[in-house]
Chain A
């Protein structure tokens, strides 16, 4: 029973996407080239259906883009050339992995900055807590004598 459910789940997750890609057939000289093609089309974004890469998308424009990637690959273009060729037509938008430059540096650096700020906050809290705990006794001598006096005097002394 559990097996059947698992199998159904697996089919649901992997079924449709492999069907979607089987429309166009590309042949490659080597396994590495095929891998390179897959990586490239999974890092390029479809301009029409904006939350899909061109590997998953069925839009005609994605088909054209896959075609172009394949064409350029078979003509011996390097990865950067292929991506640049598409960016020059469709804009930076089609990069799922933006270049590191002045405009995108914040995008790339934000996770590092966030972690650094987090460490800083934790460090400050720890240092402060430690300093308070060691250097400052809970009561000064004067306060201590006053406290013991109050305690010794007892309840009956209290005026309404």
Chain B
């Protein structure tokens, strides 16, 4: 009986090892969005291209879309921009842009110069919708299904790898459900 107790430290070490090993390589900066499975928060914001036009969450109804949060002040957004253009043009993905805490003129110059991958552009200079979405750092990209429900959030740059691994399967799955 006593001998069995001698093995307790070994068992504890192995269990701790397994638990801690599982955490290695996980990025603690990537947080699961609190909105998964919930509708996009209500909003009333102006179109980036047209000050008169008001947009609401109706823009997400009827089609699976990506919602991309960006700003001209965000270097990583510049980094992913070409990939977004590629997604919109070559893959035919519907991308809704959320111009977050930015300046309208700067944003328009950016889209003019680098290409505009967004079918709809929401202008959110004060970051209200961003705040309601729980955006904590641009760029962030959300997968929104045809009913306007948030299905996935990707924090950071979207590139070909991220698209193929995390986003494309989801987009395809929710497209089939329409």
B34 and A89: CB pair below 8 A?
A: yes
Q: Does B115 contact A (CB under 8 A)?
A: no
Per the bound structure, the CA–CA distance linking A127 and B114 in Å amounts to 79
Q: Assess the B134–A90 pair: CB atoms within 8 A.
A: yes
Contact present for B34 and A90 (CB under 8 Å) = yes
**Closest residue to B35 on the A side, CB-wise?**
A89
Which B residue's beta carbon lies closest to that of A90? Answer: B134
Say yes or no: A48-B137 contact (C-beta < 8 A), given A90-B34, A91-B33.
Answer: yes
Contacts of A68 in B (CB 8 A): 131
In A84-130, which residues have CB < 8 Å from any B CB? 87-93
Docked pose: A64 CA to B100 CA in angstroms: 13
Nearest chain B CB to A66's CB is how many angstroms away? 12
Instruction: Check if A61 is an interface residue, CB within 8 A of chain B.
Output: yes
- Give chain A residues whose Cβ lies under 8 Å from the Cβ of B52: none
The interface residues of chain B lying within 8 Å CB-to-CB of A21 are none
Task: Give the interface SS of chain B, mostly helix, strand, loop or mixed.
Answer: loop
Q: A60-B101, A64-B131 are in contact. Are A90 and B136 (CB under 8 A)?
A: yes
Contact B127 A64 (CB under 8 A): yes
Q: Which residues of B are interface residues toward A (Cβ below 8 A)?
A: 28-29, 31-35, 101, 127, 131-137
* Smallest CB gap from A62: residue in B: B136
Distance between B37 CB and nearest chain A CB, rounded to angstroms: 12
Residue contact B31 to A93, C-beta cutoff 8 Å: yes
Q: What residues of B have a CB within 8 angstroms of the CB of A90 in the complex?
A: 31, 34, 134, 136
Q: Could you say which residues of chain B place their CB within 8 Å of the CB of A87?
A: 34
CA distance A160 to B62 in the complex (A): 101
CB distance from B29 to the nearest CB of A (A): 7
What residue in chain A is nearest B133 (Cβ atoms)? A89
Min CB gap A88→B, angstroms = 6
Q: List 23 A-B contacts (CB under 8 A).
A: A47-B136, A48-B136, A48-B137, A50-B28, A60-B101, A61-B135, A61-B136, A64-B127, A64-B131, A68-B131, A89-B34, A89-B35, A89-B133, A90-B34, A90-B134, A90-B136, A91-B31, A91-B32, A91-B33, A91-B34, A91-B134, A92-B34, A93-B31
- Specify which of B29, B127, B132, B137 is in contact with A89 (CB 8 Å cutoff): B132
Q: List A45-102 residues whose CB lies under 8 Å from chain B.
A: 47-48, 50, 60-61, 64, 68, 87-93
Note all chain B residues with C-beta closer than 8 A to A93.
31
Pick from A61, A91, A92: contact of B137, CB under 8 Å: A61
Q: Judge whether B28 and A47 touch: CB under 8 Å.
A: no
Known contacts A64-B127, A68-B131; A88 and B136 CB within 8 A of each other: no
Cα-based distance from A48 to B28 in the complex (angstroms) = 10
